[in-house]
Amino acid sequence: MNLVLIGYRGTGKSTIAQRLALALAWDWVDADVELELRAGASIATIFAEQGESAFRDLESQVLADLAVRHHTVVAAGGGVVLRPANREVLRRMGQIVWLRADADTIAKRLAADETTRERRPNLTTSGGRAEIEQLLAAREPLYAECADFSVETAGRAADEIAGEILVRMRAPQMPEGPA
């Protein structure tokens, strides 16, 4: 069994994955970092030099390789849910938690992250908050399709979020009501 964190960039997947792995005494991996290590280039460079399709191919390969691990907390890439085959792989990996945050929170977090500009490309011509809103609208149904449950991260401390996930992992899962 694994625990996979999905959600848009800036929702806290990497930070929360580390805390969960520590609490569970499991390994953890940031799929985007793993992808960059394998490619020997940042995601922004891969997008610029090879295009989004090549990046998505690499992302799918990394996910497939991570799927064979056990007792690992995986911080998945924000767009990994875009391909139907990836959604199938995710479902077989273990429990899936969708980390959620509103567009304002995400924009503030990304602006505060000094590595965002050099490592992460704009995915639309608009960039910024408009891009966040556009991609959230497109991806949220896919995150919802994959997730066993979701956790709001806006305005909350990482330890609080990790604690909620641990409690919900151990409790019988009830279907969530409308968001």
The string of pLDDT tens digits covering residues 54-70 is 999 999 999 999 999 99
Q: For all residues of the chain together, what is the average pLDDT?
A: 90
Give the burial class of 41: count Cβ atoms within 10 A of its Cβ; 0-12 exposed, 13-18 middle, 19 or more buried.
middle
In this predicted structure, the answer to whether residue 174 has a pLDDT above a threshold of 60 is no
Q: In angstroms, rounded to a whole number, what is the distance separating the alpha carbons of residues 63 and 57?
A: 10
Half-sphere exposure of 41 (CA within 13 A, CB side): 14
Q: Are 109 and 158 in contact (CB under 8 A)?
A: no
2-6: average pLDDT: 98
In this predicted structure, the answer to whether residue 118 has a pLDDT above a threshold of 90 is no
Q: Are 56 and 121 in contact (CB under 8 A)?
A: no
The per-residue pLDDT for 157 is 96
The per-residue pLDDT for 128 is 77
DSSP state of 12: S
Tell how many helices (H) and how many strands (E) occur in the chain: 9, 5
Q: Are 131 and 124 in contact (CB under 8 A)?
A: yes
User: What domains lie within the chain, and their CATH numbers?
Assistant: 2-170 (3.40.50.300)
80-97: average pLDDT: 97
